[in-house]
Each structure stands twice: as structure tokens, then as C-alpha cells.
Amino acid sequence: VQFGAFQHSCSNKIYLLLVRSVSVDLNNDASLVIDIPDALCERDKVKFTVHTKTTLSSFQKPEFSVPRQHEEFIWLHDTIVETEEYAGLIIPPAPPKPDFEGPREKMHKLGEGESSMTKEEYAKMKQELEAEYLAVFKKTVQVHEVFLQRFSSHPIFRKDRNFQIFLEYDQDLSVRRKNAKEMFGGFFKNMVKSADEVLISGVKEVDEFFEQEKTFLLDYSSKIKDATAKAEKMTRSHKNVADDYNHISGALNSTAADNNTAFKKHLEKYAEVFEKLRKLEDRVASDQELKLTELLRYYTRDIQAAKDLLYRRARALADNENSNKALDKARLKGKDIAQAEENQKQCLQKFDKLSESGKKELTSFKARRVVAFRKNLIEMTELEIKHAKVRRLKCCVYHYMFTRQCSGSHGKPGNLREF
């Protein structure tokens, strides 16, 4: 189950109660168990508590926690990406930066409008704000947790020294900001990447497996990106509907204070109905986002990581071919043959290694993807059913309440039996 709560003050501190992660079963190996039990949001920074339980001797203690910021996760990701040894592995995608823009805006409004709102309005808005913060928190904690769990469940990554430092080192990792050169380098890397895309489609593939993977990944990648965007729009619409119910409920409650008519009491009761509808619609929207949209988002990124592996292999293949050509040329010229031979041997080795580990990685990626989809689709469906049943029940109850006295009018309690 997931739940959370927090208080906020004007110094913008927000504490979160955790959120048990709803990720793929990546924690089933008890020798190294990682989770993020809580997180703290202070102004722009989120501090995640990374908690580790392990039986491995490579760690100093069997159980420990460290605070980590988002930037430190990125540092870990970049370090791993730059490690040449891991070229044949799918590097778990970096978690996106926590985005509290939406709730932050609302909090600002809350602070400004405090004096002009009634106590009830203020409390209500505060509650809504808390719910929004909670939704963002759930998402960001989930994605950071899964990131780490991908490493801990991978036989090679879990032994990585930097990963262990990340988990264990209880001081600030002092991740320095990327200087201009590095940032520019990053930009350059992206340009090279798109060149890789041309490369990957252009290179002549000898291995049937990789040929199929290439086709599949390229196609799947565009479709899942599309599905993610459409899912986001759909979730947005759900939230808009919830918002509208909120306005309706607010309007119904806004009858003049000195109005004592019976009708006003009716309206207040109706306001309650709409308030409940709002809460339920909101929950449907956020659960859908957490299970469906986030799933699609995650796998869009993961597919990209798999594609990156293919690029690296394609580059190695190209290098291999070039080294073959260079060797032939050297032999023709009779110069630098030993060097060319050495080069060719290395390129071939690298390429073979990438192919072998790549095949393993891509195969386990398929399995992982299927498992993740299954789990999240099941959970999403179960939540949809639950929410629909709750709404059904509540409508039933309100229907009953509003009609139970009428024997002659349209809404007979007997109508319920039709259901």
C-alpha cells in the first residue's frame, strides 16, 4: 500500500512518510536489499534516505542509511555510463529530476490567499496541496528507488565500487557541478548519438538476433514514446474533471452565511457528494499515473538505454571493420603490421564481448519488461476496480439517503435493486 502525509510550514519543509515501492520485484535477493523509506523536501532540494540491508562482506555494516540528493544519483549514473567495462550492459536509465513545480505554485497561492480565505477553505486547499505533493513524492521516490534496485539486482553492477560508495559513504559525495567543458561535452555526446542512430541503421548486421533486436527496439521506442505522451494527456483530463468537481463543490458551499433556507442545507449536502466525487476522481487519476503513465515513462527510458547498448555495439562493429581494413592496408604496405594486428585483435575482442553480454542483457531485458508490465497492469486494474466499486458504493449510499423517504416519487429505494 502507499500512503503518505506531511505538514508544511512557510519555510517549505515537507516530510514524507513512505511509500512502499511499487516496482518490479527487484528486491528478492536478500543479500543486498535497498529501499528509500523516506524523503525530505526542502525548497528546491529533495533528500532521499537510501537504506541498505546486506549480508555481503564488501560492506562495512550489515545495515545503514545515507541521505542522498538527486544530483548524486545522476553522478552515479554518469560514472557507470563512463565505465568502459560496462559497455556491454544496459545501463539503468537515470531518474528524472523531481518536479514540484505544480504543487509549489499552489503552495504559493495558498500562502498569498491565506488572509482572504475562510478557515474551511484554507484547510481544504491545504489538504489538496498535501495530496498533490504526495503524488509527486510517490513518483519520484519510486523512480529513484527502482534505479538503485536495478543496480543491486544485477550481478555485475552490484559489485561496482562507485555503487558501494554511493550506498555507504555517509559524507556528502561532493558532486561538483558539471563545468562548462563537461556540459558541452554532454551536448556533443548527444550529437554523436544521433549520428549513432544513422550508424545503427546503416551498419550491416551479421547476427540475426541483433538484427531483430534493432528492428524491434527502433519500432517499439517510437510507439512507447507516443503511448506515454497520450497517457499523460489522458491523466491530465482526469485531473481536470476532478478540479471541476472541486469548483462545483466549492460553489455549492458558498451560499451566503446569513442564508438559512432549507435549500441551502440541501446544497451543502450536494456539495458533500461532489467533494467525494472529486476525491475519488483525483485518486483514479493519480493511481493511473503511477501505474500506467509512470510505467510507460520508465520503459521509454529503459528502451533508450537498450538502444544505447546497440549503438555501442554497432560502433564496436564499425571499429572492428575499420581495424580489419587497417590491418589489410598495413599488410599491403608492409608497415606497422604488429600494431595493426594488435588493434584488430582488441577491436574483435571488444566487439565479441559486447555481443555476448549484450545478448544476455537484451534477453533479460525482455523478461524484465514483461514482468513489469504484468505487475503494473494488474495493480492498475485492481485499483481501477477498487475505485469504481467505492464510487459505486458511495453513489448507492447517497442515492439511498436522498430517496429513502419517497414512496411516490421517481427515486425509489427499490431502484437500487435494479442494480
Partner 1 sequence: MFLSRLRLPSSEIQSTLTCNGQSAMSGGCGRNPPPFPDNEDQEAELDTQVLDSDDDDDEGEDIFTGARSKPITPTSAPDEGDIFSEEGSYVRSDVHHATNGLHSDEELDLFTEATVELTLTNTTSQGRREIIGPTASACNTTRVPNSILKPSIVTKTMEELEEEESGDQFELNIAVTNPEKIGDGMNAYMSYKVSTQTTLPMFLNKTFSVRRRFSDFLGLYEKISAKHSLLGCIIPPPPQKSVVGMTKVKVGKEDSSSAEFVEKRRAALERYLQRVVAHPSLLQDPDVREFLERDELPRAVNTQALSGPGLLKMINRASDAVNKMTIKMNESDNWFESKLQEVENEEQLLRRLHAAVDSLVNHRKELCSNTVVFSKSVAMLGSVEENSALSRALSQLAEVEDKMEQLHQQQAFSDFFILAELLADYVRLLGAVRCCFEQRMKVWQRLQEAQSTLQKKREAEAKLLWANKPEKLQQAKDDINEWESKVSQYERDFERVTCTVRKEMLRFEKEKARDFKQHIVKYLESLLHTQHRLVKCWEAFLPEAKAIA
Closest separation in Å from C-beta 150 to partner 1: 20
* Cβ-Cβ contacts under 8 Å for 195 (sequence gap 6 or more): none
Stretch that binds partner 1, among 153-161, 324-332, 352-360, 403-411 (CB under 8 A): 403-411
**Nearest distance from residue 102's CB to partner 1, in Å?**
17
Using rule CB under 8 A, residue 64 touches partner 1: no
Which residues from 316-345 bind partner 1, rule CB under 8 A? Answer: none
Q: Work out whether 363 is an interface residue with partner 1 (CB under 8 A).
A: no
Indicate the DSSP class of residue 118.
-
CB count in 10 Å sphere of residue 378: 11
- Indicate the helix (H) or strand (E) that contains 48: strand 45-54
* CB-based contact 357:309 (threshold 8 Å): no
Closest CA to 234 of 274, 289, 290, 299: 289
Q: Is 361 in the site for partner 1 (CB under 8 A)?
A: no
- Say if residues 41 and 130 touch (Cβ distance below 8 Å): no
Q: Which is nearer to partner 1, 156 or 393 (CB)?
A: 393
- Please, what is the minimum distance in Å from the beta carbon of residue 62 to partner 1? 13
DSSP letters spanning 284-308: HHHHHIIIIIHHHHHHHHHHHHHHH
Residues 97-116 that bind partner 1 (CB under 8 A): 114
Q: CB of 362: closest distance to partner 1 in angstroms? A: 11
Whole-number Å distance between alpha carbons of 371 and 378: 11
Whichever of 270 and 311 has its CB closer to partner 1, that residue is: 270
Q: Which of 11, 57, 171, 194 binds partner 1 (CB under 8 A)?
A: 11
Residue 53's DSSP bridge partners are 33, 63
Residues 245-274, interacting with partner 1 (CB under 8 A): 245, 247-248, 251-252, 254-256, 259, 261-263, 265-266, 269-270, 272-273
Choices 76-84, 199-207, 223-231, 355-363 (CB under 8 A): range interacting with partner 1: 223-231
Task: Locate 69 and state its grid cell.
Answer: 540528493
Site for partner 1 in 131-150 (CB under 8 A): 131, 134
CB 92 within 8 A of CB 114: no
* Member of 37, 79, 173, 319 binding partner 1 (CB under 8 A): 37
Distance CA 46, CA 394 (A): 37
- C-alpha 102/C-alpha 256 separation (Å) is 32
Work out how close the CB of 220 gets to partner 1 at its nearest, in angstroms, rounded to a whole number. Answer: 5
- Computed from CA positions of residues 403, 406, 409, 415, in that sequence, does the dihedral angle turn out positive or negative? positive
**Binding of partner 1 at residue 8 (CB under 8 A)?**
yes
Among 234, 321, 324, 348, binds partner 1 (CB under 8 A): 234
Ranges within 179-218 binding partner 1 (CB under 8 A): 216
